Amino acid sequence: MIEKKFQGVFAAAVTPLKSDFTPDIDSLPKFLSFLAQRGCHGALILGTTGEGPSFSFAERKMIYQAARNVRQIHPSFQLLVGTGSPSLQDTIKFTRLAFDLEFDGVVVLPPYYYKNVTDEGLLSWFSEVIEESVPSDGALFGYHIPQTSNVPLSIDLLKRLKDKYPDKFAGLKNSSSDPTHVLKLGDSFRDELTVFTGNDRLFSLSLGVGASGCITALANVISPDLRVVWDAHLSGEPTQAIQERIDRTRVIFDLYPPAAPVLKSILSRCHGFPKWAVRQPLIPITKNIEKQVIADLGLDC
């Protein structure tokens, strides 16, 4: 059994961008502080929702440095960063930078250009990343999001990584929407790996089979509800009613993919943040869509 350093509600944070598509460095720590105040234990920056693959090394460095400033107000707020890239060397470079700047851990997509790669190939790739860029006290999480990457991380691969790197391979962000996979992960790793669900609708189910929390896009705007589920889980109280409300919210959001443009509109409309841009090929939602989403969610803003 491992000691689980990472637990609770994490936001897959959006990345604030100015109208010229450059990172809004001043807004980022303020936004992360907003998440901390609304119940998040930490955040994943530059993941899928954070448009991570759209940023250069120099931009990433600025974003990493700005994100760390949240700790001036919230010193226990944990910071993860998405560093996966189809390029092995870029992944190593991004990961080294994250640990050099004292991030708590990294969440690494598999190399997602080539499909139908073998577990042997993925084991070799992840081994190189871990050996070349993860320090002895570092934590690397695999990122299982097959609907986007088309490169799943199998149970067997996870076991092999855990056995080979018991101190550095910390666990998994599971963004699959398959409840059967949640149960398999629970059966396989309940006390061995830190598993976060990336799907809000599977939060209670995941916690029930040993998951350590969630890392979700919706935590940008509904982290208070997710925190209620987490706290109820810790105290052994029922979570069904609040989970059903989260489910209804997730169903609505799933009608308007991808998440980043909708979330940025809601954060601006309902919480007073600037109307942050999204990077091409993403485009902002229209005023009509924004009004429809607000109405569907029943928000008073």
How far apart are alpha carbons 13 and 166 in whole angstroms?
28
Catalytic residue from among 15, 83, 95, 173: 173
Active-site residue, from 64, 91, 143, 194: 143
* Beta carbons within 10 angstroms of residue 116's beta carbon: 7
Sequential DSSP letters for the chain = -------EEEEE----B-TTSSB-TTHHHHHHHHHHHTT-SEEEESSTTTTGGG--HHHHHHHHHHHGGGGGT-TT-EEEEE---SSHHHHHHHHHHHHHTT-SEEEE----SS-S--HHHHHHHHHHHHHHH--TT--EEEEE-HHHHS----HHHHHHHHHH-TTTEEEEEE----HHHHHHHHHHHTTTSEEEES-GGGHHHHHHTT--EEEETTHHHHHHHHHHHHHHHHHT---HHHHHHHHHHHHHHTTS-SHHHHHHHHHHHHH--------TT--PPPHHHHHHHHHHHT---
CA dist 213 and 231 (Å) reads 11
Catalytic residue among 113, 114, 148, 275: 113
CA angle 152, 189, 44 (to 5 degrees): 60
173 is catalytic: yes
Active site annotation includes 112: no
162 counts as catalytic: no
- Catalogue the active-site residues: 48, 113, 143, 173
